[in-house]
Amino acid sequence: MISARALGRSFGAKRVLRDLDLELGEHELLLVTGPNGSGKSTLLALCAGLLAPTQGELEVAVDRGRIGYLAHEPLVYRELTALENLDLYGRLYRVPERRERIGMLLERYGLWESRRERVATFSRGMQQRLALCRTLLHEPDLLLLDEPFAGLDEPGAALLDAELEALAGERTLVLATHDPERVVPLATERLALA
Amino acid sequence: MSYLADVGTLARKDLLLELRSRDTVPAMLLFVVSTLVVFNFALPAGASDEAAYGLLWAALVFTAILGLTRAFAAEREQRVLDGLVLAPADRSAIWLGKAIAVVAFLALAEVVALPAFALFFEPVGWELVAAVALASVGLAVVGTLLAAMAAASRARELLLPLLFLPLVIPIVVGGVGASIADDPGRYLGFLALYDLIFAILSWASFEYVVTE
């Protein structure tokens, strides 16, 4: 599903990724680790199509509408409520039975009671839960998860553990994290960036 | 139909955001009225009608800049534009939805500006109202594209006026011409043509502005 040859990305004079070769098949889970600045987020943004490579080739064999991208920021509007944000994305992604799907995700991630509150009032953990709901809303074939455990409390992290367990083997996942222990048992491929 | 539905969804979102935050429209209203008051005192007694109309158009263009600098603020703050760009919707729908919202904000400013202009300077005729309506579309379609370009830059507050002002000179020419000419139809046609050409160019190029 993802194929990279001599992939590189620079920002001005700074080279963040260089000469990366990668093959990831369908329904595999690639665990990406590495210190800050090693290019984990850049690799995910490249796979999402948000950045273009400055060197090498990258092929991602999935339509952009079938990608679920979890970034550092939740990619939601602070002045809209959780429900309004998910409804916006649900409409743009043409999610079938949108309301039911949104309700189910909000309940699963413990945000149902806060659904009519503005995101600006949410804690970091609640924003991350909402970002996960947004990422999973359209049941993507390829999930690009950048530090998905960031900001989550233990119950939230346990929810995500269960979600990843259910998704592993059914979807293709690329997961970048500083905390690989939680995901190691599910990973089929590992990539350590320096 | 799904394209229009996407545009409607995105425009509604922008209007709702403004209704909640009230960041842009109140500032635009205050600015356009303040500017006309200042021009009222700046224009010497006995100055020509043409000068007054020119000042109105200058006020409208600068009010548009004020609104456009905030046009992509919500998207920039939380990188929401990345989320919108990844959606399967045609990316030009983001531009069109935003441009519709900008036209609505400009229309509100003009609803206040034109009576203020009539109060301080000259009566407002149908030709001025028609010119302002056509100009609003032109200002919004060009401005929204440039605001998206500027949003990606650190010097966005400087970049937007530098790109915007040269491109809207034809709007000022057409607007002032329609306001004072004996035959305003020619200038109104010119404004409509400007809107059409720049709407097509902006619609076609927006994708390249928001992607690498």
Contact B212 A50 (CB under 8 A): yes
Q: Determine how β-strand A2-11 pairs with β-strand A14-24.
A: antiparallel
Query: Which pLDDT score, from 0 to 100, does residue A190 have?
Result: 93
Contacts of B7 in chain A (CB under 8 A): none
Assembly ipTM? 0.91
pLDDT beneath 50: ranges in chain A: none
Of the candidates A105, B89, B201, which has an alpha carbon nearest to the alpha carbon of residue B81? B89
Q: Is B90 exposed, middle or buried (0-12, 13-18, 19+ CB in 10 A)?
A: middle
Give the nearest chain B residue to A87 (CA atoms): B9
Please state, in angstroms and rounded to a whole number, the distance separating the CA atoms of residues B80 and B72. Answer: 10
Distance (Å) from the alpha carbon of B63 to chain A's nearest alpha carbon: 24
How many Cα atoms sit within 13 Å of B142 on the Cβ side?
27
Please state, in angstroms and rounded to a whole number, the distance separating the CA atoms of residues B167 and A25. Answer: 49
Contacts of B89 in chain A (CB under 8 A): 92
* pLDDT tens for chain B, residues 1 to 212: 799 999 999 999 999 999 999 989 999 999 999 999 999 998 887 778 788 999 999 999 999 999 999 999 999 888 899 999 999 999 999 999 999 999 999 999 999 999 999 999 888 999 999 999 999 999 999 999 999 999 888 888 889 999 999 999 999 999 999 998 888 999 999 999 999 999 999 999 999 998 87
Query: Which pLDDT score, from 0 to 100, does residue B211 have?
Result: 84
Question: Would you call B86 an interface residue with chain A, using a CB distance cutoff of 8 Å?
Answer: yes
Question: Would you call B23 an interface residue with chain A, using a CB distance cutoff of 8 Å?
Answer: no
Contact B83 A134 (CB under 8 A): yes
Q: Is A116 exposed, middle or buried (0-12, 13-18, 19+ CB in 10 A)?
A: exposed
For testing contact with chain A, the best of B86, B91, B208 (most A CBs within 10 A): B86
Please state, in angstroms and rounded to a whole number, the distance separating the CA atoms of residues A64 and B190. Answer: 40
Please state, in angstroms and rounded to a whole number, the distance separating the CA atoms of residues B19 and B13. Answer: 10
Whole-prediction pTM: 0.92
Please state, in angstroms and rounded to a whole number, the distance separating the CA atoms of residues A175 and A131. Answer: 15
Contact B13 A80 (CB under 8 A): yes
Please state, in angstroms and rounded to a whole number, the distance separating the CA atoms of residues A179 and A176. Answer: 9
Instruction: Tell me the domain boundaries of chain B.
Output: 2-210
